[in-house]
Chains A and B, each alone.
Chain A
């Protein structure tokens, strides 16, 4: 049973790491703030979600799992809104840049 769970953890965390890598590559390669913001917020959020999913079997108490999910929820809620706010700023600065 624990082998199955550990394999699941390794797979999900590796998947998460892949999306963090993708987000960073996007951040480095994309030409303007809006696309860079896209790379950062979309890919990293998916990466964090997969890592949280992968870590769930490793928690030894239900409270621990709940806290992981709350952390993920907090990032989702704030990330979506803040990405929009930063995008507005980026768009106002665009004509000059």
Chain B
């Protein structure tokens, strides 16, 4: 069945996203990895929806609706994460999660 190809592809995207999320030191790249992980999970769920094709629909509409809701929530979470990251950059002068690097560096300007 054709949908299986995309299931495999979603699983691989999720795995790659997880790898990037853990190993990449840059917070922005972690956010990218997290989005990749989420997209892979949505895609896998989309394959489940496709398997549930019945009653004249091309797929089960319930998982499809949940994926749409999930995408909007993922965007909201990404926007908040990016705003936090930019705030970190503005106050600490570097976008890094390494606690030693920020405490050694110049004192953050108080706003």
- Do the two chains touch directly in the complex (Cβ atoms below 8 Å apart)? no
* A residues with CB within 8 A of B: none
